[in-house]
């Protein structure tokens, strides 16, 4: 049985994962309307992944005797000056999500809820990957600078990355 403290914390993480899905969906739409097909496909896939992260917590919470709550979400930003700005926000958002997961792990240990702690280890590993991927993408964007040819190749690389990620999942 979950403590109320853990149930509340997990419900907060459900909201964060749902908002993450919405953020990436809005980014996908922005990229799509700016001719960045590869970036758009990448963001659509990221949005789907975040939704799956949310569903995984919902199932865990309900199976452990809690009640997963679906709440209002903050509206995501829908416009960016540049694709670099968008990916800077991706990186900062992933850092925020990692901090939230780490807080959840801390709560689970404080409450001696080792089942929840074990469940959360998948999210810890996932966030390491998400942050690293966002950082590598940002590094590539910084290498490109204002080179339009570089942007074209970057967008094509993002499309290939998305296809590899989709195949691997």
* Domain residue limits, the chain: 4-168
Q: Report pLDDT for 51.
A: 98
Ranking 78-82, 94-98, 159-163 by mean pLDDT, the lowest is 159-163
Q: How confident is the model at residue 168 (pLDDT cuts 50, 70, 90)?
A: confident
Nearby residues of 154 by Cβ (< 8 Å), 6 or more positions away: 38, 140, 141, 144
Say whether pLDDT at 169 is over 70: no
**pLDDT of 13 above 80:** yes
Q: What integer is the mean pLDDT of 131-150?
A: 90
Query: Which residue did the predictor score with more confidence, 146 or 31?
Result: 31
What percent of the chain shows pLDDT beyond 70? 99
Residue partners of 24: CB distance under 8 A and separation at least 6:
43, 44, 46, 47, 50, 90
Range in 10-14, 108-112, 127-131, 139-143 with the lowest mean pLDDT: 139-143
- Check the annotation: does 127 bind a ligand: yes
Is 50 annotated in a binding site? The answer is: yes
Region 43-50: mean pLDDT is: 97
CATH topology of domain 4-168: Ferritin (1.20.1260)
What does pTM read for this prediction?
A: 0.93
Tell me whether residue 53 is annotated as binding: yes
């Amino acid at each position: 049985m979950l403590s109320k403290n853990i149930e509340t914390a997990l419900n907060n993480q459900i909201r964060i994962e749902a908002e993450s899905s919405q953020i990436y969906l809005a980014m996908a739409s922005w990229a799509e309307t700016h001719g960045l097909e590869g970036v758009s496909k990448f963001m659509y896939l990221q949005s789907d992944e975040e939704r799956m992260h949310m569903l995984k917590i919902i199932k865990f919470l309900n199976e452990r005797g809690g009640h997963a709550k679906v709440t209002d979400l903050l509206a995501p930003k829908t416009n960016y000056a540049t694709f670099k700005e968008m990916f800077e926000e991706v990186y900062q958002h992933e850092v925020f999500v990692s901090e939230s997961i780490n807080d959840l792990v801390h709560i689970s240990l404080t409450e001696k809820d080792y089942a929840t702690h074990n469940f959360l280890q998948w999210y810890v590993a996932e966030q390491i990957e998400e942050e690293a991927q966002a950082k590598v993408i940002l590094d590539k964007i910084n290498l490109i600078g204002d080179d339009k040819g570089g942007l074209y190749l970057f967008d094509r690389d993002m499309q290939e990355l998305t296809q590899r990620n989709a195949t691997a999942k």
